[in-house]
């Protein structure tokens, strides 16, 4: 019982840290002299670093146990958050985001797998993460000092790190996951998830600037983020017993509607209902994907690491594409391009099973 509670507490405090540091990051980058292209590089640097780290350490945690990677990742993440206090240029910000992506990825998949093995529940775990994002966002509504928020992130992550030392060590694993085989087996989860998140990360890195352009101040930027995370916190609590395939497909479809809603908004107040739909769509998509991967799988951390890596790949690619589109055509066309990526993802998710079967048989034949 304590292991399950400790996991959600670690997720909660880690998410406060991530949200407090990230909610105004594009605005902070602009204030220290970053161009729109450099803001895209900041997002891409985090994603690329997370991608490499997640693939390596997710597999290692299946082989060697979860706890060493949970603790080491959290410890390094504290340093990354604290280092933000010293940032004075776009170059330093990019370097710090590389360290942060590497550190967070080291612990994320291992913690997800440890939680599922301890409690068998995923919705509650990610719901408490959303609650952490909500708390970080609520603080940001009333407190706009960048470096104060960076300090809060370091303190909150330190609390997660301290709690991790109360977890009991599980048995060392003897599986040797093959990442390519894991990927091909779950193509209809990973590829749609990737497409949706490429579209999403084209938008998220620039969203605060988009909202300011619609008339929002910094408090309203934070409030609109809280509408999203608060709704996620409620919705995710009730999804563990729902059909995973339904959740996943519905989440993909609603994600496309979110980006169309952004494109049609003419005031930041118009974005409020869009944020509610965003929360429902992400809750369905994320919980559905994790349930599809974790049930009947012995390679839980590897499966989760590939999913998270597809998300981080989108963080590496999406901001670059988004920066290019915004530079040429502006915000509204960007939203429609993002919706197009979601449409491609829905098509892949609904592709005939035999397409995936062929890919998996090819991977097995290569291994043999």
Q: pLDDT tens, 301-343? A: 777 777 877 777 787 788 778 877 877 788 888 899 999 999 9
Helices and strands (H and E) in the chain: how many:
16, 0
Rounded CA separation 292/286 (Å):
10
Dihedral sign computed on CA atoms, order 312, 160, 298, 62? positive
Q: Are 197 and 318 in contact (CB under 8 A)?
A: yes
Of 251, 307, 260, 252, which Cα lies nearest the Cα of 280? 251
Dihedral sign computed on CA atoms, order 171, 300, 12, 239? negative
Q: Which helix (H) or strand (E) holds 170?
A: none
Q: What is the pLDDT of residues 187-215, one digit of tens each?
A: 788 889 999 999 988 888 788 888 888 88
Helix axes 271-294, 187-204, angle to 10 degrees: 150
State whether residue 17 is helix, strand or coil.
helix
Beta strands in 5-110 (DSSP E): none
Please list the helix, strand and coil fractions of the chain in percent, rounded to the nearest 5, in that order. 85, 0, 15
pLDDT < 70 positions in the chain: 1, 119-123, 171-179, 296-298, 300, 351-368
Of 144, 170, 156, which Cα lies nearest the Cα of 77? 156
Please, what is the average pLDDT of the chain? 82
pLDDT given for residue 92 in this prediction: 92
Structural domains of the chain sorted by starting position, each given as residue range(s) with its CATH number in brackets: 2-166+176-367 (1.20.1250.20)
Rounded CA separation 328/346 (Å):
27
Sequence-ordered list of residues with C-beta below 8 angstroms from that of 289, at least 6 positions apart, any chain: 189, 193, 248, 307
pLDDT given for residue 13 in this prediction: 93
């Amino acid at each position: 019982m304590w292991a399950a509670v400790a996991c959600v507490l670690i997720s909660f405090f880690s998410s406060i840290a991530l949200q407090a540091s990230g909610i105004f990051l594009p605005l902070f980058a602009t204030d220290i002299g970053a161009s729109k292209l450099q803001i895209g590089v900041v997002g891409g640097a985090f994603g690329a670093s997370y991608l490499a780290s997640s693939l390596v350490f997710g597999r290692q945690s299946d082989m060697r146990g979860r706890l060493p990677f949970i603790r080491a990742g959290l410890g390094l993440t504290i340093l990354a958050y604290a280092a933000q206090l010293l940032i004075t240029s776009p170059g330093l910000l990019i370097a710090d985001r590389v360290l942060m992506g590497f550190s967070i990825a080291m612990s994320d998949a291992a913690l997800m797998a440890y939680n599922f093995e301890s409690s068998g529940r995923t919705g509650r775990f990610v719901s408490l993460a959303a609650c952490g994002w909500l708390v970080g966002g609520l603080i940001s509504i009333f407190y706009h000092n960048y470096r104060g928020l960076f300090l809060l992130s370091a303190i909150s992550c330190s609390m997660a790190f301290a709690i991790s030392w109360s977890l009991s060590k599980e048995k060392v694993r003897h599986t040797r996951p093959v990442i390519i085989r894991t990927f091909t087996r779950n193509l209809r989860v990973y590829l749609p998830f990737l497409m949706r998140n490429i579209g999403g990360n084209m938008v998220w890195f620039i969203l605060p600037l988009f909202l300011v352009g619609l008339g929002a101040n910094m408090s309203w930027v934070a409030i609109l983020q809280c509408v999203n995370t608060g709704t996620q916190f409620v919705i995710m609590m009730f999804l563990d017993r729902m059909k995973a395939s339904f959740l996943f497909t519905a989440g993909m479809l609603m994600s496309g509607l979110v980006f169309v809603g952004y494109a049609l908004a003419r005031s930041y107040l118009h974005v409020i209902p869009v944020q509610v739909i965003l929360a429902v769509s992400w809750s369905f998509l994320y919980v559905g994907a994790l349930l599809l991967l974790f049930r009947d799988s012995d390679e839980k951390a590897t499966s989760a690491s590939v999913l998270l890596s597809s998300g981080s790949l989108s963080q590496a690619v999406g901001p670059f594409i988004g920066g290019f589109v915004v530079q040429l055509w502006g915000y509204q066309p960007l939203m429609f391009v993002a919706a197009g990526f979601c449409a491609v993802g829905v098509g892949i998710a609904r592709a005939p099973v035999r397409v995936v079967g062929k890919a998996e048989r090819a991977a097995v034949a290569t291994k043999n």
